[in-house]
Structure 1
Amino acid sequence: MPGPSDPRVAVYIDFDNIIISRYDQLHGRGSFHKHRVRKAEVTGPDADRETRQRLVDATVDLDAVLDFASSLGTVAISRAYADWSVPVNASYRGQLVDRAVDLTQMFPTVASMKNGADIRLAIDVVEDLFSVPDLTHVVIVAGDSDYIALAQRSKRLGRYVVGIGVAGATSASLASACDEFVDYDALPGVMTDDPITEEPTEAPRTSRRAVAPPRAPEPAPAPVTAGTTAGADQSSTADDSPTTAQGATAADTDDATAPDEPTVVAPKKGPSGLLVRALRLGHAKDDAEWLHSAAVKNHMLRMDPTFNEKALGYRTFTEFVKSRGSFVEVDETGPIRKIRLRSAFHPE
């Protein structure tokens, strides 16, 4: 349970800004508008396969963004601003709902589709800084120069300001106005490859003491990255098979019908993926070779409050970590248990 002095974080996402910036980064400047992505259907019989694939390639891993924010402290506020009636925005429903992000609806007010998200976001930040005085960190997920004044004012009010933006679409002045600015591609978890395959789900029985039954096996974690999809089969066996937003045919799913609304499926982090991402964030934040086991577990709980090693069949967190010995090392030589990722699993 967080104490009164623990850092508390507020995250504000200019959703259109980050989605458009990521798309243009991969497909060329101005491509989002040139390809008319905002009005494109992303699922169903009217969906354009080429447009859908471009969107999949440019999928933003919001888990990586929120997990990074949780490495700063307890995320007390998380809001995303966009017109959620737009199909490409609605396709992120799964990621956002799973992380309990507050979705703020911004209807366009002019023909240019500008929705005033930057003004609303700035007003909410300033209001929150006064109404929630124990906030210590403000995370602005955007690269627009319009947020320079907001970053400066937040710092003046005593908050540590962190910006997250996409390379090539971020104002240098905004980066300078923040206490810390992180490139989206440099976030731990946003990777092109993840060699982790081990996912043990049940601890070896060392006593007759009853423990909670283990959960069903989970797939190994793999972040959504350019050119890849989560849990989708890239090869299609029938041209006329309906497809999902991830490019999988209906035959690949348990239900032959398409979902009612387009959904970008975020990669589900099993226990191993959760542990590895917490360790990567810890190593990146502290630049330390070994991390305190208790601190890593607290970070895992901030990322996923449902994590419980006992539900997996382990009596202690240390037992759980030792079961992942192929990619985690444990140091028990001192009074405080420490853990670290094996060198082969550190990001490049």
Structure 2
Amino acid sequence: MTNDDERIALFLDYENLAIGARDGLGVMPFDFGPIADALAERGRVVARRAYADWSSFDEDRRLLARAQVELIEIPQRLGASRKNAADIKMVVDAIEMAFERSFVTTFAICTGDSDFTPLVHKLRELDKRVIGIGVQSSTSALLPPACDEFLFYDRLPGVEPSQAPRRPARRGGRPAAVPAPVEPVVEAAEPEIVVEEPAAPVEDREVGPIVTSTLAGLQRHADGPVLASRLKRAILRKDPTFDEADHGFRAFGELLRHLESGGVIELKKGSAQGDPEVSFPHDASADDDAFRLLVEVVRGLQGPRFRPQLSGLKDQLRKREPGFSEKRYGFNTFLSFAKAARARNLLSMDWDEDTGDYLLRVPEEL
């Protein structure tokens, strides 16, 4: 079965994810978008459920509701019963769906808690594919090997860790719960008015980034060439409102030919007429220019006792080359682009615990 045919049920152990992202990455509130995009590249998500005591996640609750996630309330109780109740409820619902919804082929279990390892084993016994998703600092070492695929939230495109990550959560289990904030008593308080932010007009959104980011994601997980029809379906799973006509194109093929003329993508004849293969251009000279720019910028920033950090480096490249984007060269993230340079021995990258970032240096012989 191909990835296009996968029908995914998503279950989020929300407290584990949100508190892990806050403590390990400095991310607050939790951004669900990167998870939604990663799963959209793998198949159609037919169910989205998140489990938590939502009184502690008021802002998150509104964001998830806008993302069409069903919120399962686990009321606050004394002692450890609330944690157990959340775990058991999520496990029961997942097993129930596995038996009652035979069309569901894949389960995405979003947690770093090793308590869910038996659930993963049982789902695989039932011939279900399991994708795990968790924050690296709060994920047990026992959980990823049990899954068919495990995605660290930290590494998903679109996740921007803070420059100063907070104290990591306890490894191997659920991070400590955050008590609900105590609200001051205000007499005759006015009801809260939630103002919805208007969505950006479709004509103002750039069409290139969503095509290139989706293509890069499909290429990483595809077993064969990416056809235009498959690319269009994946884009619609990310953004159901997408319509090439809003960007001035009469058909998706016309949009792809426009991007090809700009050197963004490359089209080849596909297995069916009118459904070409889509890939990134393989221009060795363009790749060399991109890596040369990276090396020159790093060399200009480094000093005898100073090594530039990866964070903020992309902005430095854009000061030299305003149109720079790693996606033009087939890399989904700037980190993967930098690692490709390291693999070519163009620079060194070392993780620094003090800064929580990679430090780069160009070898003297270059």
State the TM-score, normalized to the length of structure 1: 0.63
Partners of 1:95 and 1:265 within 8 A in 2: no
- How far apart in 2 are the matches of 1:265 and 1:113? 41
Q: For residues 36-79 of structure 1, what are the alpha-carbon distances to aligned partners after superposition, in whole Å with 9 as ceiling and x for unaligned?
A: xxxxxxxxxxxxxxxxxx5xx44433111012122221111111
- Which residue number in structure 2 is paired with residue 166 of structure 1? 135
**1:215 equivalent in structure 2:** none
Q: Deviations over 1:311-340 (max 9, x none)?
A: 333111122234445573131455541223
Matched with 1:300 is 235
Q: Which residue of 2 aligns with 1:260?
A: 193
Give the gaps of 5 or more residues in structure 2. 165-190, 282-286, 288-325, 337-366
Tell me the equivalent position of 1:29: none
Query: What's the offset of the Cα at 1:94?
Result: 4.8
CA distance in 1, matches of 2:108, 2:248: 36
What are the superposed Cα offsets for residues 227-253 of structure 1, whole Å, 9 maximum, x if unpaired?
69xxxxxxxxxxxxxxxxxxxxxxxxx
Work out whether 1:140 is the aligned partner of 2:109: yes
Match among 20, 41, 53 for residue 83 of structure 1? 53
One-letter amino acid matched to 1:295: R
- When residues 341 and 63 of structure 1 are mapped into structure 2, their CA distance, relative to the original with a 3 A threshold, is farther
Match of 2:210 among 261, 265, 274: 274
Per-residue deviation, residues 149-191 of structure 1 (Å, max 9, x unmatched): 100110111100110111121111111211111111222333x
CA distance in structure 1 between the partners assigned to 2:19 and 2:199 by the alignment: 18
Distance of aligned partners of 1:173 and 1:268 in 2 relative to their CA distance in 1, 3 Å threshold: farther
What amino acid does structure 2 have at the position aligned with 1:276? T
Contact 1:328 1:339 in 2 (8 A): no
**Higher helix proportion:** 2
Instruction: Report 1:204-223 matches (<5 A).
Output: none
Separation (CA, whole Å) in 2 of partners of 1:259 and 1:330: 51
- CA separation of 1:267 and 1:90: change in aligned 2, threshold 3 A: farther
3-state SS, counterpart of residue 161 of structure 1: strand
Aligned positions, number: 252
Which residue number in structure 2 is paired with residue 108 of structure 1? 76
Residue 83 (structure 1) shift: 1.8
- In structure 1, give the amino acid aligned to 2:59: S
Aligned to 2:12: 13
User: What is the SS of the residue equivalent to 1:147?
Assistant: helix
Change (3 A) 1:308 1:265: closer
CA distance in 2, matches of 1:309, 1:168: 40
The alpha-carbon distance between structure 1 residues 282 and 259, as it changes in their structure 2 partners (threshold 3 A), is farther
Residues 59 and 267 (structure 1), Cα distance of their counterparts in 2 relative to 1, 3 Å cut: farther
Measure, in 2, the Cα distance between the counterparts of 1:137 and 1:93. 25
Q: 1:339 aligns with which of 275, 278, 285?
A: 278
Match of 1:66 in 2: 36
Q: Which residue of 1 aligns with 2:298?
A: none
Q: Equivalents in 2 of 1:274, 1:125: separation in Å?
A: 32
8 Å contact kept, 1:63–1:95 = no
CA-based RMSD of the aligned residues comes to: 3.4
| Aligned residue in 2 for 1:239 | none
Q: What's the CA shift for 1:126?
A: 0.5
| Mapping 1:146-161, distance limit 5 Å | 146-161=115-130
Closer, same or farther: CA 331–272 of 1 in aligned 2, 3 Å: closer
Unaligned runs of 5+ in 1: 27-53, 193-224, 229-257
1:322–1:328 CA contact under 8 A, matched in 2: no
Query: Quick check: 153-162 or 63-72, which moved more?
Result: 63-72
Q: Flag the 1:327–1:77 CA change in 2: closer, same or farther, 3 A.
A: farther
Asked if the contact 2:134–2:152 (Cα under 8 Å) also holds between the matched residues in 1, the reply is: yes
Amino acid paired to 2:19: I
Alpha-carbon distance in structure 2 between the residues aligned to 1:268 and 1:151: 42
CA deviations over 1:182-235 (Å, ceiling 9, x no partner): 111222333x5xxxxxxxxxxxxxxxxxxxxxxxxxxxxxxxx5369xxxxxxx
1:259 offset after TM fit, Å? 7.0
Task: State which drifts further: 98-107 or 314-323.
Answer: 314-323
Match of 1:285 among 193, 197, 221: 221
1:103-136 CA distances to partner (integer Å, 9 max, x unpaired)?
1111112156834221111110001111101111
Q: SS in structure 2 opposite 1:181?
A: strand
Task: Decide whether aligned partners of structure 1 residues 274 and 113 sit closer, same or farther in structure 2, where only a CA change above 3 A counts.
Answer: farther
Indicate the residue corresponding to 1:313 in structure 2: 248
